[in-house]
Structure 1
Amino acid sequence: MPIKPLSFKGDTKKAKKRKHRSDETEQDGGHHHETNTNNPSGSTDPSSDDSWTTPDVSSDVAGPTVLILAGTTNPTMCLASDAHGNVFASAMENIFESHVETAEPHDVRQVWVASAVAGTADGQISLKASHGGYLSCDGIGVLGARREARGVQEGFVLERVPVGEDADGDGDEDGKAVVAHSSSSSLSSAIRYRLRTAAGTSTGKGRRYLAATVTTTITTTKTKIEDQTTALHVKKSESDDEDDSHKSRQKRINISLRGDGEAGDPGTELVVKMQARFKPRLQMNKATKEREKVSRRELEQAAGRKLTDDEVRRLKRAKRDGSYYENILDLRAKSKHDKFAS
């Protein structure tokens, strides 16, 4: 299944504007803009990269974010919210061979916009759903996304899970599995986090986290003989014997989401995906490139005279290396003429 980038309400519709321009130029016989519109992936600008990646540290999380529940497999689920503010687990369709690192959202309900909460010492973030409500957790662990303003219950902290921590847990009881053993290989290379909630803070129970408990219920039904009184007088056919011995099994998976899980529970582990263009490293690189850009006219104004091509190249290289002002002073000193010199 092809993976397409998500579009959000309020985003600038660049592709649509280009189509309008191509429609206008098509009447004049121009098709250049139309070909560029049909191939938007050809752009190499990191600031417009809509691909999904994992954050290196918890402080990198910003912008559109997906919280994948690491304790769910077949299918892999993520945290989602509907238009009424109900929080539920949604299946991930854009995933390659059940490797959670490759999972990408296909529905805007699966995406949360993360932003840092200013003035918090522990680095809290808020998670805003697609309908405008903020993810919240009350004192007893009930989750919701109905509030349009941030408060104490809307503050969350991402904590990285230690590398050597056991991810299988003890969830091997019948009918209940917190983490499937088959998913250990797909989770080995993915950095896992825990989302600390406000539950337990007011009651003094300590730190509590977002937890997903997977409960599997298997129902077995057996077909019955319609008439038991005539069963001795009427010879049954082979098809009747097959119907009598036929059993139907129905498997139902229920996922319970709470905000009062303990740190040792494997159901609290998450895999976080975010858009690559919101990574601070890419934003710093973009700002650095903007500072490094300098025209020939600006260089000549700073030097106070016309520059040769070699001098322009040397100054641009010095701009990138950090020795720009030293080279400018050298050029100014060489261009000065001391009339009192002997």
Structure 2
Amino acid sequence: MVKPLAFKGEKPKKRKRTTKDEAGDSKEDGPPNPPKTVATTAATTHALQQQQQAEDAAEDENWVSAEHLSDIAGPIMFVLPTSTRSPPHPPTSLSVDQLGKVFAQKIENLVEGLPDSAEPHDVRQVWIATRVVGSEGDFTFKGHHGRFLACDRFGLVTATREAMGPEERFCLRPVGAESAAGGEGGGNGLFEVQSGRGTYISAGQGREEEDADTALPEVRGDAEEAGENTRIRIRMQARFKPKHKVEKAEKVRAKISRKELEEEVGRRLDDEEVRKLKRARREGNYHEAMLDVKVKGKHDKFA
């Protein structure tokens, strides 16, 4: 092959490489493109975490019935005992308007008309419950307009005062077998709301109207004895309930991946060992179960 003319001592010329050649060489000689498995796995994990967070947030916003005095805190809803009247009235709530007038309002958010499934559809139905410091069962209830629920000596229930006084203080008495023995409540979600004068808030028959099915009861605070008219159901947000908080903490504590368990043990685990450790993490004996798994691994190694 005839070579091009070259002089002695002349440095050979470098061949210019085009972008196309470099691209071709990189495909032929270079390492293959890294797999997208890692990125895909990370994206999937992130999506699952976001979905779980959304589900937890939705669960926190659910409304449940208060079972004990220790449950009551934060936003609540009073469901009046109107569904047992004759003729029966639709379930109603204790509501307040912007001027402080307290009235019974029909509840729209119900499942099959059951009072224990009631949720507020109007901000006027929501009260903020706060326990009085140093008391056993005394609470104050603030409406959406920033004023406290009160009952005067005539039995008139209003919410017009911004400051708390004796008339703005109520004692909640759980309805149930345990309440008579000084317990926290019967667990049925029913309470009696007693004013500072010893009278109870009740939902009476109200004035006569043409359509009895749509008639709303009258809210009074002068009932001297407890009865069916004074048994009020208290609904609250799940995130303020102590039992819900404990269950949520246990759920978070139980969340641990197989990879994390294997890293802590120092070897690969079978399915039964993973289930055992996760169950122990939920039940609170995680460290003992982890020690048993580690000891078992050492015995198998030297067997």
- Between the two proteins, what is the percent identity of the paired residues? 37
Amino acid at match of 2:79: I
Measure how far apart 1:95 and its partner are.
3.5
Task: Report what 2:246 is aligned to.
Answer: 284
Match of 1:74 among 89, 93, 117: 89
> What's the CA shift for 1:296?
8.2
Structure of higher CA gyration radius: 2
> What residue number does 2:122 align with?
107
**Residue 214 (structure 1) shift:** 1.8
From 128, 132, 139, the counterpart of 1:117: 132
CA distance in 1, matches of 2:63, 2:289: 42
Contact kept in structure 2, 1:66 and 1:273, CA below 8 Å = yes
Residue 92 of structure 1 aligns with an amino acid whose one-letter code is I
Partner amino acid, structure 2, of 1:70: P
> Are residues 325 and 272 of structure 1, via their aligned partners in 2, closer, same or farther at CA, if it must alter by over 3 Å?
same
1:329-340 alignment to 2 at 5 Å? none
How far does the alpha carbon of each residue in 1:17-54 deviate from its partner, in whole angstroms, 9 at most, with x for none? xxxxxxxxxxxxxxx9xxx9xxx999542773433332
Against the structure 1 CA distance between its residues 299 and 266, is the aligned structure 2 distance closer, same or farther, given a 3 Å change threshold?
closer
CA distance in 1, matches of 2:79, 2:280: 45
Question: How far apart are residue 113 of structure 1 and its match?
Answer: 2.1
Residue 56 in 1 paired to residue 67 in 2? yes
Q: 1:134 aligns with which of 130, 148, 151?
A: 148
**Does 1:308 find its partner at 2:267?**
yes
Shift of the 327–150 alpha-carbon distance from structure 1 to 2, 3 Å rule, reads: same
Aligned-pair distance for 1:65?
1.6
Specify the alignment match of 2:105 in structure 1: 90
Partner Cα separation in structure 2 for residue 290 and residue 96 of structure 1: 30
- In the alignment, the residues of structure 2 paired with residue 291 and residue 118 of structure 1 have an alpha-carbon distance, to the nearest angstrom, of 32
- Give SS of 2:246's match: helix
Q: SS of the counterpart of 2:168?
A: coil
Q: 1:193 to 1:293 in 2, by over 3 A?
A: same
For each residue in 1:114-146, what CA deviation from the matched residue of structure 2 results, as whole angstroms up to 9, or x when unmatched? 2333321x2222222112222122344332223
Once the two structures are superposed, residues 263-292 of structure 1 have per-residue CA deviations (whole angstroms, 9 ceiling, x without a partner) of 344321212222333322111111223444
Inter-CA distance 115–291: structure 2 relative to 1 (3 Å threshold)? farther
User: 1: distance between equivalents of 2:296 and 2:52?
Assistant: 48
What is aligned with 2:220? 258
Contact 2:150 2:168 in 1 (8 A): yes
TM-score normalised according to structure 1 size: 0.54
Amino acid in the other structure paired with 1:113: I
Q: What is the Cα deviation at residue 210 of structure 1?
A: 0.7
1:217 aligned onto 2:208: yes
Gaps of 5+ in 1: 1-31, 164-189, 201-206, 219-248, 337-342
Task: Output the amino acid matched with 2:144.
Answer: S
CA contact (8 A) 1:68 1:77 kept: yes
- Give, as a single letter, the amino acid of the residue that structure 2 aligns with 1:277: R
Cα distance change, pair 151–291 in 1 and its aligned pair in 2 (3 A)? farther
Compute the displacement of 1:97 (Å). 5.3
Conserved 8 A contact 1:61-1:279: yes
Q: How far apart in 1 are the matches of 2:176 and 2:295?
A: 58
Q: Compared with structure 1, are the counterparts of its residues 152 and 296 closer, same or farther at alpha carbon in structure 2 (3 Å cutoff)?
A: farther
For 2:119 and 2:295, locate their aligned partners in 1 and report how far apart those are by CA, in whole Å. Answer: 58
Distance in 1 separating the partners of 2:92 and 2:52: 28
Q: Deviations over 1:186-221 (max 9, x none)?
A: xxxx753211111x2xxxxxx321122223435xxx
Matched with 1:160 is 174
Contact kept in structure 1, 2:95 and 2:126, CA below 8 Å: yes
Q: Number of aligned residue pairs: give it.
A: 232
The equivalent of 1:19 in structure 2 is none
Aligned alpha-carbon RMSD (Å): 4.0
Distance 1:86 1:149, change over 3 A: same
Q: Which moved more, 1:319-328 or 1:58-67?
A: 319-328
Contact 1:46 1:282 in 2 (8 A): no
Contact 1:126 / 1:135 at 8 angstroms: preserved in 2? yes
1:124-273 aligned at under 5 Å gives the runs 124-162=138-176, 191-198=189-196, 200=197, 207-217=198-208, 253=215, 255-273=217-235
* 2-structure distance, mates of 1:328, 1:101: 43
- Report what 1:8 is aligned to: none
Structure in which a larger fraction of residues adopt helix: 2
Aligned twin of 2:12? none
**What residue identity is the alignment partner of 1:158?**
L
